[in-house]
Amino acid sequence: MQWSDQAIVIGVKRHGETSVVAEVMTRAHGRHLGLVRSGRSRTMQPVLQPGNEVEVTWRARLDEHLGEFRIEPVRLRAARLMEAATSVYGVQAMGALLRLLPERDPHPHLYEALDVILENLQDPRDAGELFVRFEIAVLNDLGFGLDLAECAATGARSDLVYVSPKSGRAVSREAGAPYADKMLVLPAFLTEEGGQAADYDSLQAAFRMTAFFLHRHVYEPRGIGLSTAREGFVQAALKALKPSPTVTHT
């Protein structure tokens, strides 16, 4: 068995004295593990850093075996990803999200999204919004997609300001008013008519919304919690957008 594919490194574990087991997200073969012989060498260590784009060739006698990777560097961006808190935590948090998916299950659109986000993680304004959309995409691929395009009660596609915690569907301002205290806030930047970038309040509401559905549908049933990396990312992204305190002169 053999195949070659584009991949992004998301994790590495030691294996013996000189080798490692690399975990990568591939374009066509999903999240995949493979043994890299001499993976702890001076040559390979800089390549096998989370966030780097590589070309992998996987070989195994049988499809169900761990197999071995031959890895060639394509784009080494790990050093740059260490320059900002959002990128340091973001790489780890997205790796944790991808581990929720079955191994070797293809998700090419998530590979593409991961690649785009890694190029924008250093800018907290872009990183927060992109990360939320990535969480929504992962929820969708796990079978718990959110329907934010139209009102669950009326079918309206405008003035959508709530999300039903029961159905994960958008609700308009008018239809949701009687139940506003029980609804989740739908940030404007996630609606079709939004047309605006996320600010501190809307991004905070978005993180709260995705955390709610991840916990209910994914983490709680599996007996796990949100990753600490996600919390670090959320705090870093919000800190960058937090309004400066108003100074009053007397």
The predicted structure's pLDDT at residue 11: 96
Domain boundary among 50, 76, 102: 76
Question: Residue range 188-194: average pLDDT?
Answer: 86
Q: Outline where DSSP puts E strands in 109-240.
A: 160-163, 170-172, 184-185
Confidence (pTM)? 0.93
Asked, for residue 181, whether it belongs to a domain, the answer is: no
Asked, for residue 58, whether it belongs to a domain, the answer is: yes
Share of the chain above pLDDT 90, in %: 90
Question: Residue range 140-166: average pLDDT?
Answer: 96
Q: For residue range 99-121, what is the model confidence (pLDDT) as tens digits?
A: 999 999 999 999 999 999 999 99
Strand partners, 25: 8, 31
Asked, for residue 135, whether it belongs to a domain, the answer is: yes
Range of 228's domain?
85-148+186-241
Q: Are residues 204 and 105 in the same domain?
A: yes
Q: Are residues 134 and 231 in the same domain?
A: yes
pLDDT at 246 > cutoff 80: no
pLDDT band at 124 (very low <50, low <70, confident <90, very high): confident
Domain boundary among 12, 43, 76: 76
pLDDT band at 194 (very low <50, low <70, confident <90, very high): low
Asked, for residue 236, whether it belongs to a domain, the answer is: yes
- Go through 93-122 and write b for each residue having 16 or more CB atoms within 10 A of its CB, e for each that does not: bbbbbbebbeeeebbeebbebbeebbbbbb
CATH number of the domain bearing residue 72: 2.40.50.140
Asked, for residue 56, whether it belongs to a domain, the answer is: yes
pLDDT at 62 > cutoff 60: yes
The predicted structure's pLDDT at residue 249: 57
